[in-house]
Structure formats: C-alpha cells, structure tokens
Copies of this chain bind each other. A is one copy, B any other.
C-alpha cells in the first residue's frame, strides 16, 4: 500500500546526459509551461498522454526544445522505448527534458543509459536519490521532500536552478502519492500555483517546465488534509529551488498584506522578489528599503506611500518603514537580519485585505559567472 511498494525508480548520469525513470501505475496530473514556445516533450505529452500512466522517463543535458519535427520524433522514441520495456501503451508514458535549447537530442544515448537505469530500478532511498540526481542540471543538490499522514504518503522530487532569473530556467517536479481523494485535480493545480509559480516573477517559465503528479489511489485521503500536505510539500520544494537558484546564497520570502486584491498583492510580491536591485542588495546584506519601495511602486499594483515594511529573520523583526514613515534606529537589526540565509520581507500596503507572497533569491557573482559561461 505504501509508495515503497508501488514506486520503482532510478537514475544514471553519464557526462552531461542524465536519465531518470520512475515506474508507477496511477492517475497522472500535469501542469506545463506557459511559454508559447513549448519543448518537444511537452508537446508530446499534450498530444499523447492519457489519464493514467505506467512510467515516466526524464533526461537532463538537452531540453529538446526548439528542435522541430526531428525533436518531436526523438521525444516519441524516448517514450516508445519505455512503453516497450514496460509493455504498456504509449499513452501511459510521460516524458520530460531539461538542458540546452535548440540542439538535437542524442536519443540513442538516452536509450542506452535508460536500459541500464531499468536494470537497477527500486523503491529505496538510494533509488529515489539516484533519480533526483540524474535530472539535475546546474542544481547543486537534489531536491526531495516527503509527507506522511494516516496511511497516505507523498513523495516529491524536483529540479530547479536558474530560477533566480525572471526567465527561462527549467523546473521539473515529480510528485508520487498513494492517495485517492475528491477534487484531486483542483487541489494539484492550486498547490502548483501557490508554490512553484511563486518562485520569482511572472513570465518565469521555460520551454520545458513541467509538474507531474502520479496517484496510485490506494489509500483514501481527506481532501483538506491532502491539500494541506501537498501544498506544504510543494512549497518546500519551491523554497529549495530558490535556495538553489543559480549562484544564490540566500532565499527571501516577500509576504504582502493589505493590498486592494490578492492579485495586487501577488504583483507586488513578484516585483520585489524579481527586482535585480533588491536581489543584489540581499546578496550584499544591505537593507536598502528604497529599492523595495521603488519595486512596490512600479509593480503595477494600486499602491500609495502609506506602506509598512519589515524584515524578519532569526535575529528578530526590524521595522524599516511604518505607514510611510522611515523608522530611524532599525538599521542595525535590519543589517543583522540581512546577513542571514533566510529572510522575510513583510509588506503591508494598508489598502485592503489582499494577500500574496513570492519566493526569491539573491543575485550574485556566481550567477553571472555561471550564465556567462554556460554554453550553447
């Protein structure tokens, strides 16, 4: 009944190419990139994937994006390979890719590695870890999170990195659960919206972004409990992505309240979390509230000067601005908080009851280094 009985996975990396395979029968839920240019694996899934799945195959090192008809054929070959080995229909295979855009996939190599992966599938920690590591690109650490309540288990494996930029970095996440509950589709979509879609700035979608959830539906779950645990698991993975944003040394949450609407709150949160000037200030440990105020101002939200702005960390809470008035004497505490590795920026707009949040990370020398070298 547990996931360790129904999920078997593994992953192997050879040079820049990694292949991860997860085998589990269940209903599949998916959210894909909103980028108008969709990678071949996304197009393949949209055209072929049914409601139930038997297996997932993922490669890292090449996004198979912007690769035209040839890319689509190769995406299909990846899926056909796994469908044959699992002796299932092509509609029961989900695929994903991450890596460089605009280069044809070496699908023979992926299949070659895939064969080895299939020989070593298993349900243990080491198997989950191997899968998580195989799908990494510039990630510095594998991203795995778990929840367990009653007999329900949820396992999440993700890759992120590059999310620091308000643009393309591919994020992939794979959720596995033995749960069955009402409204699962909606719960899944809302959890994605409240987690992965909050890691930095709108438009932050690569050609490949994909979140899958496979549910074996063996154990009945209370929908509210399931929602709560799934959301918190996804948020944990999302924060890991921010922390592992390319070159990042710190993660910061922007929590906005008192907005005219939830949309406005989200606009403000994303503008602040996505501002290069705020990100560099966080890197420098500089409580530069002027940059935060400016970002609030250009967010597009309905705001005025009557803003309350606080920083919260392990050192305490520093009130930088109180209803539009700059608070003297809070700078020392603010500087201490800004040196911490997890910072919360609390913004009250005093305009209504709208709330929202976003998760950002700092912009560092390593980001520039990594992205000026990462090659086509």
1/0 per position for A296-334, CB-CB distance to B under 8 A? Answer: 111111111100000000000000010011100001000
Main secondary structure of the interface of A (DSSP, over half): loop
- Min distance, Cβ A322 to any Cβ of chain B, angstroms: 12
Per-residue B-contact encoding for A262-288, CB less than 8 Å = 1, 0 else: 000000000100111110110110111
Contact B375 A364 (CB under 8 A): no
Closest to A324 in B: B68
Residues of B within 8 A of A274 (CB): 166
Q: Are A372 and B168 in contact (CB under 8 A)?
A: no
Annotate A31-53 by CB proximity to B: 1 below 8 A, 0 otherwise: 00011111000000000000000
Report chain B residues within 8 Å CB of A364. 368, 372
Question: Which of B68, B321, B371 meets A277, CB within 8 Å?
Answer: B371
**Residues of B with C-beta under 8 A to A376:** 286-290, 331
Chain B CB within 8 A of A363 CB: yes
* A→B interface (CB under 8 Å): 34-38, 63, 65-68, 100-103, 162, 164-169, 203-207, 271, 274-278, 280-281, 283-284, 286-291, 293-305, 321, 324-326, 331, 363-365, 367-369, 371-376
A-B pairs, top 6 by smallest CB distance, nearest first, are: A101-B290, A284-B372, A37-B297, A280-B371, A165-B276, A168-B294
